[in-house]
A and B are shown apart, each in its own frame.
Chain A
Amino acid sequence: MSISAPRYGAAPVARTGRIHRTLAIVHRELLRRAGLGTILVLALTYLAVTLVLTINTDFASLTGSLTLATFETPYASPAWPFLMLIVATSVGAGSLAEDVGNRSITLYFSRPIRRIDYLAAKTAATGTWMVIAAVGPALLGLAVILALGWAPASLVLAGAGAFVATGLLASVFFTGLALALSSLTTRSLYAGVAIFGVVLSLEIGAPLVSGLTGNSSAAYASPITDILSVAQSAFGISGPFATDPLTSAALLAFGGGLLAIFAGWRISRVEVVGE
């Protein structure tokens, strides 16, 4: 072992502000979640969505039925909710749980940052991954369509707007859900199972309750149904929708926000230094 004093620079270093410290956490969290599994799922999604969009568009333009609704296909596929679930589990389940589990949260909170900074960083990183998964593939597909000249630019732009709007709402909800469930446990596996369990239970349970009670508003309880309604509306598909798109959009945004606040409350109660 060498014992020699660290030789720091003569002049004291100017400290960065809270935003830079928070961004350092975002940066680390983004890299930390870039595992092989996540990258593989995303690569396949980008490929599949681009292929589906371009083939659909080519077919629609040949048959003269090209409209904004042509681009809705990725959301209509049952594979899409599963993709969101896989990504939310992969990037969000361990977001808080791992730090509490290995107690590295102690180190964060003994640093010159507030707990809200820590949570904001985690939310930003998880949210970024969700947006990459929810919006990115469709934007790539539309870019390819535009480059090939298979659809007019105005239509592609409208499609991009619809993808961004729907994708952002879905990202807000899944980010909030992942953070909330991650804050409840110290193991990312449990949080991941819970994310799947909650979404699939609501997806199966909401129509059942709706059918049994005859109350159609139970359908709002399913986030996947809500996202589908918003998507159909955004892509100009005429109703009837399973739920009112505006109400569904509000529920997704409000629900995601509320779940993130719940995660913040849980983090505020974490004991920092254990005996």
Chain B
Amino acid sequence: MTDGLLRTDSVTKRFDTVEALSNLSVELSPGTIGLVGPNGSGKTTLLRLLLGLLSPTSGTLSVLGRDPQKEPLMIREQVGYMPEHDCLMPDLSGVGFVAYMGRVSGLPRETAMSRAHEVLEFVGLKEQRYRKIREYSVGMRQRVKLAQAIVHDPPLCLLDEPTSGLDPEGREEMLGLVAALSRLGGRSFVLSTHLLPDTEGLVDQVLLLNAGRLLAAGPVERLLSGKNPETVVRIRGEVAEFIMALSRKGIDVRPQGSELRVVLPSGDTRPVFEAANETRTQVRYLCPSVRTIEDLFLSLVNENPGGPVP
């Protein structure tokens, strides 16, 4: 891999009869990557494979140009990992814990301690760094987990559900920290989440998984602009008749809540008004839709309920 950050070639991981990942082939370049999918979609399995903690049933992987199966320690030196679940050492102080993790990652004692102070200040735990972790709130625990993941200054950080268990304010702060780190440059992030809005505006690439299968992967901009843009239409009148009228004109339309999502060829809105005229309905709202990663995910799942995207 040249500039590649992660690459998987036909990776399949099977646990007994369950196929956690199925024939996954992706290549992602450095940046902030959203690893997105519902629970059980294979996100954590992929992270385990990337860390070299699991072996693929078939296929090969590459992280920062190295094979996790052959060089797991080299990779873990260059990767910071923030697990989803609570896994802290409650008897240690925040600074003691982060410094200890730095030492186990290969930092000399003094360097580990000075970096622990720096990263704890960065994540907003400067005042609480000497308190025992057992006294930390959920938000503080998430922050200290982020701190231990970056203490050894890794070029790649794997963040597994970093906003898990946080209230809206805490979630915003955590995402703000990740955004601040990614803006610094020189460090890539894989943000694994089932909360699709967490990735909006934060990630520049996305890897969408569903039931162990790849739905889409690549730069967000390209994925969101890759399809015909939709137009949101709200009408007053007989919705079913209006949809039939549009369909007769060869226009794709699907209801979503109280709105209709219409795909207008070359953005020409005339068919909408013609259909409204024919069915005597009022067009109350008409605006190009702003596509989100969530929209993309839902449309891909709808289009490919049982299989991978070709």
Binding site for B on A (CB under 8 A): 1-9, 12-18, 20-21, 24-25, 28, 32, 102-114, 272-275
Contacts and interface: CB of A to CB of B under 8 A. Distances in A.
Nearest first, the 8 closest Cβ-Cβ pairs linking A and B are A1-B124, A15-B106, A24-B103, A103-B87, A110-B81, A6-B118, A112-B76, A112-B73
A26 B105 CA distance: 14
Interface residues of B, number: 50
Given A8-B153, A274-B85, A275-B40, A112 B122 contact: no
Contacts of A1: 123-124, 173
Nearest to B120: A6
Interface of B: 39-40, 44, 47-48, 51, 53, 73-74, 76-77, 79, 81, 83-91, 100-101, 103-109, 111, 115, 118-119, 121-124, 126, 148, 150, 153, 160, 173, 176-177, 180-181, 184
A2 B84 CA distance: 24
Contacts, number: 119
A3 to B, nearest CB: 5
Contact of A102 (B51, B88, B121, B160): B88
A3 B119 contact: no
Contacts of B53: 109-110, 272-273
Contacts of A3: 122, 124, 176-177, 180
B85 A103 contact: yes
B104 A25 contact: yes
A111 to B, nearest CB: 5
Contacts of A104: 87-89
B121 A107 contact: no
Nearest to B73: A112
A37 to B, nearest CB: 14
Contacts of B84: 273, 275
Q: Which of B87, B122, B160, B176 has the most CB of A within 10 A?
A: B87
A34 B89 CA distance: 16
12 contacts: A2-B124, A5-B180, A12-B153, A14-B108, A15-B107, A20-B103, A103-B87, A104-B89, A107-B87, A110-B81, A113-B104, A275-B84
